[in-house]
């Protein structure tokens, strides 16, 4: 049975519902390889384990530029943008399902979902809601601050980068974001157009 690993983070709760971005990093058989690449880029950039918002601009841009230039990450970074809502849990659940469905495996599969900061009580709620909406879930875990790994940090960086692009923080970021979407390195899953024909998966 195919296993999909989903690493989830968000940005935007501080906007009081104006904009909420959920990033989902989805990988399958190449999880270990992508994990290693991310760790090397964290070291090379000097970003280390810093969250996107805490890392220096030049370090996080070095990191994200190299991620978005590596073909192994094509189609792995998926996201959904929600506006005018404070239903953060519902939005996160919707984004997880949309991200999996954008290019889900043929035949039987299961998901292992890792959500940044998800409490133990919310873990059961998320699992029940995801299963009720048709997503096969083998495991759902909340990731504490001291448990983050390179792929949960990639989800954080993706959410932060997308937010910076959408608010127009700089022309550099906006241009890179548009290029990433066009090249299918970042997939906005709320759009059902041009879904891929399944071939090799990450």
Q: Residue 148's pLDDT is what?
A: 87
> Does the model's pTM come out above 0.75?
yes
Look at residue 201 and tell me if it is in a domain. no
Strand partners, 78: 24, 187
Q: Residue 194's pLDDT is what?
A: 46
First to last CA, the chain: 16
Q: Residue 200's pLDDT is what?
A: 46
Q: Residue 93's pLDDT is what?
A: 96
Look at residue 198 and tell me if it is in a domain. no
> What residues in the chain have per-residue pLDDT under 70?
191-202
Domains of the chain: total: 1
CATH of the domain at 175: 3.30.420.10
Are 60 and 38 a contacting pair, CB within 8 Å?
Answer: no
Look at residue 19 and tell me if it is in a domain. yes
């Amino acid at each position: 049975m195919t296993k999909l690993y989903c690493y989830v983070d968000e940005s935007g709760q501080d906007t009081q519902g104006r904009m909420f971005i959920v990033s989902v990093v989805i990988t399958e058989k190449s999880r270990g390889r992508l994990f290693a690449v991310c760790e090397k880029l964290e070291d090379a950039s000097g970003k280390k384990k810093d969250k996107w918002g805490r890392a220096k601009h030049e370090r996080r841009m070095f990191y994200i530029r190299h991620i978005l230039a590596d073909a192994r990450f094509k189609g792995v970074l998926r996201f959904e943008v929600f506006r005018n809502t404070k239903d953060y849990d519902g939005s996160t659940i919707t984004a997880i399902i949309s991200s999996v469905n954008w290019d889900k495996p043929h035949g039987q599969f299961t998901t292992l979902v890792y959500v940044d900061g998800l409490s133990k009580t919310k873990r059961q709620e998320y699992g029940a809601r995801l299963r009720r909406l048709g997503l096969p879930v083998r495991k759902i875990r909340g990731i504490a601050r001291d448990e983050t790994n390179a792929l949960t940090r990639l989800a954080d960086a993706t959410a932060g980068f997308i937010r910076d692009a959408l608010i127009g923080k700089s022309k550099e970021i906006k241009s890179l974001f548009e290029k990433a979407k066009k090249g299918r390195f970042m997939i906005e899953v709320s759009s059902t157009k041009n879904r891929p024909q399944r071939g090799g998966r990450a």
